[in-house]
Amino acid sequence: MRRIEHPSELFEVGQEIDAEEVGRWREGQLHLSARACEIPALRSFLLAFERGQVVTGTVSEVHNFGVFVHVDGEPEGLCTGFIRVPDLTWGWINHPSEAVEAGQRITAEVIIAETRSGQVTLSLKALQEDPLIRFADQAGRILTGPITKIVPFGVFVQLAPDVVGFLHLSELTDEPTETPDQLVDEGQLITVKVAEVDLQRHRVRLGAAGGADRS
C-alpha cells in the first residue's frame, strides 16, 4: 500500500507470498493482488462486510472530493471508510462540510468493501428517503423558487427542501442568448412549471411559466 519504485523493493525470486485472485487474463494466467493481503487484519475486516449492511463510525476528515470515516471495529491505526460527495445527501451542497464535520458520529450503508484498496465505500444518502418520492405528484404544477446555481446551458431552481429542478436556457427566453446570467441572477425568484419528475434518474425538468420575478 506504500509507494514503491520497483517490485524488487518488496519481493525477490523464490519468495513465498500471499495474494488474492482478482481475475484471469485471456491466456489463462491468474491476475493477483498482494496488496489485498498485505494487512491480514484489514482483509478480514473488509471481507466481513456485505452490500447494504448498516455500519456506524466517526468522520475523520472532510475534503472537497469526499469524506473519510473511521468505521467502528476497524484495525487500529487505519481509516477504512470513504463517502463520495454524491452519496452524502439528496440535497444540493457546494462542499461536503455542509453535510458532515470531523468528529461527527454517523450511520451509513455499505456500497462495496474492497480488499485491494483497503477501503469500504459508504453512503449516508442510502439511509435517507428520496425527497422526489413525495414530490412526484407535483408534475404540471406552477411553482416559484430561488435560482440556486447558474450554468452555461441553464439554471437550477429550489422547488422544495432538498428538491432542485433544472430549467434549460431555451426555456428562459426566445431571444438569442449566450448564457443565462445575462437574464437572471443567482438567488433571484423565478416562476416555473414542473414539466417532469423522473424518479429513476432522480431529476426534475422544468419549463417556462411566466418568467422571472424581479421584485
Domain residue extents for the chain: 49-127, 131-213
Cα 165 to Cα 30, 47, 95, 105: the distances in Å are 48, 40, 19, 31
Q: What is the pTM of this model?
A: 0.76
CA-to-CA dists, residue 7 to 13, 22, 81, 196, angstroms? 11, 18, 28, 55
Specify whether the CB–CB gap between 204 and 197 falls below 8 A.
yes
Same-fold call for 49-127 versus 131-213: yes
Considering only the top CATH level, what class is 131-213?
A: mainly beta
Superfamily of domain 49-127: Nucleic acid-binding proteins (2.40.50.140)
Residue type, 115: T
Q: Mind giving me the DSSP string for 10-31?
A: T--TT-----EEEEE-TTSPEE
Which residue is it, cell 444540493? 92
Please report, in tens digits, the pLDDT of each residue of the chain (215 residues total).
Answer: 888 999 999 999 999 999 999 888 877 889 999 999 999 999 999 999 999 999 999 999 999 999 999 999 999 999 999 999 999 998 888 899 999 999 999 999 999 999 999 999 999 999 998 888 989 999 999 999 999 999 999 999 999 888 999 999 999 888 887 788 888 999 999 999 999 999 888 899 999 885 444 43
